[in-house]
Amino acid sequence: MSVVRVGEFRAAEGRADALADFLASIRPIILGSEGAVSCEILRDRTDPGRFLVIEHWQTTEAHQASVKNIPPEMFKTAMALFAEPPKGSYFDGLA
């Protein structure tokens, strides 16, 4: 059974578009990672500084291993875009 990872990101003041660009830039890295099934990036209509990243993975371990595919300098750049630390949880499908 696959697992869904839901990540929530909140942009620092004035950095929403830059965060959107960053999230879009890591999508191909996520999709190219072993065990990735799909990845969708959503922007809140009423709060444009809030984003969700919905990732489907073959296993939780595949998601955790994929983090090493994102270059450390990209993570460092992203830190300046966040208003708060990102949040994330794993979910199992019921149907």
pLDDT above 90: residue 93: no
Edge-to-edge, what's the strand order for the sheet holding 87-92?
36-43, 50-57, 3-10, 87-92
Whether the per-residue pLDDT at 95 is higher than 80: the answer is no
| Whether the predicted pLDDT of 10 surpasses 70 | yes
Instruction: Quote the CA–CA distance of 23 and 93 in Å, as a whole number.
Output: 24
The model's pLDDT over 22-63, given as tens digits with 9 standing for 90+, comes to 999 999 999 999 999 999 999 999 999 999 999 999 999 999
Query: Quick one: pLDDT at residue 14?
Result: 97
Identify the pLDDT of residue 6: 98
